Every structure is written in structure tokens, then in C-alpha cells.
Amino acid sequence: MITIIGAGAAGNYAAYLLAEKGFEVQVFEANSTIGTPIACTGILTSYFDTLVEPKKEFIANEISSSRIYSPNGEFAQINFRHPNRILHRNLLDQHVAKMAANEGAEYHLEQKS
């Protein structure tokens, strides 16, 4: 059996990969709801798409460039080759946890190790 502490991005995705390979996985999460409280802006590069199939349910927006401002108002603009995604981080965490649970991972909420 494999025990994972924390149902965040890392814990949920590890749980998914391990459960998919047939391991018995138990995930312990201190909070009562996966993904909350949110502590992430939710900006991810397009590499994300190679890990988790993008779903409308957790995608808030897409951006194709960003600007970094200095205090005097000047800025440098970075144009991305592929759009970055802005995600509802709490919904993404819940989605990946569901992927893991569908592969057989068991979740235990409000359990602080």
C-alpha cells in the first residue's frame, strides 16, 4: 500500500499515476474539501495539456502574452508560442482527485498526519 499525504496537485496526480498502475493508494488530506482554501493564481503553461486533458469545467481563461511592469510604468512583453491557461485551481485539484479515485485511490479528508 502507498500512503500519500496531501491532496494537492502533486498528491492527486501521483495518486492517479500509481493507482492507474495497480498500486493500492490511500490519500490523506488535512482539509475537509479538496482544493480549498485556494493558494494559487492558476496560471499554467501549455505543457499542462500533456499531463491532464483540459476540460471546460476547470479552465477559466487563456492568455497569449504577459507584461512585466517596472515601477516607472515601462514594461517588457512576453508573447507565448502556445497560450497559457488560467485554471480554477480548486476545480482542477478536484478533477485530478476524481481521476485518481476512478482508478481506485481512496481519499480520507480532514485527516492530518
Among candidates 27, 12, 16, 11, which has minimal Cα distance to 111?
A: 27
Nearer of residues 32 and 74 to ligand FAD, judged by Cβ: 32
Q: Where are the beta strands (DSSP E) in 35-100?
A: 43-44, 59-69, 75-87
Nearer of residues 11 and 100 to ligand FAD, judged by Cβ: 11
Residue nearest to ligand FAD (CB): 8
**Least CB distance to ligand FAD at residue 93 (A):** 7
**Least CB distance to ligand FAD at residue 67 (A):** 16
Interacting residues with ligand FAD (CB under 6 A) = 5-11, 28-31, 39-44, 112-113
